[in-house]
Amino acid sequence: MPRDPRAYLWDVREAVADIQGFVAGLDLSAYVASGLVHSAVERKFEIIGEALNQLAKLDPVLAERVPRLPEIVAFRNQLIHGYAAIAHERVWATIQTALPTLAETVQALLTELGEE
């Protein structure tokens, strides 16, 4: 039985909230200095990318409504396969600029679909 598409959106929403909690009160230098924090953040970005990748396979029409989905999946792939070349500044910039928009989009989609 296929997974409910909302489940992937729930996973994204939870991972976004976790990232925001992990970095609350930090600046870039504190983020970079904490191996624990940036490892946890990267793992949550991997979950976000994989959840959206699976959503795109299950419900491409719904997935198309997530802005920059291919870039998010590519970012996930870079984190997993190119882990040795991760620029903490890029991850930090993504947290600051792209994560709020993703959070808003996912919440809007869940509200529209009925969260249950």
13 found inside a domain: yes
90 found inside a domain: yes
pLDDT in tens, 49-103: 999 999 999 999 999 999 999 999 999 999 989 877 789 999 999 999 999 999 9
5 token code pair: 């598409």
Q: Distance (Å, rounded) from C-alpha 48 to C-alpha 91?
A: 13
Evaluate the CA torsion angle 39, 35, 96, 76 in order and state its sign. negative
Domain count of the chain? 1
- Mean pLDDT for the chain? 94
- Give the domain extent around 21: 5-111
116 found inside a domain: no
10 found inside a domain: yes
65 found inside a domain: yes
- pTM attached to this predicted model: 0.94
20 found inside a domain: yes
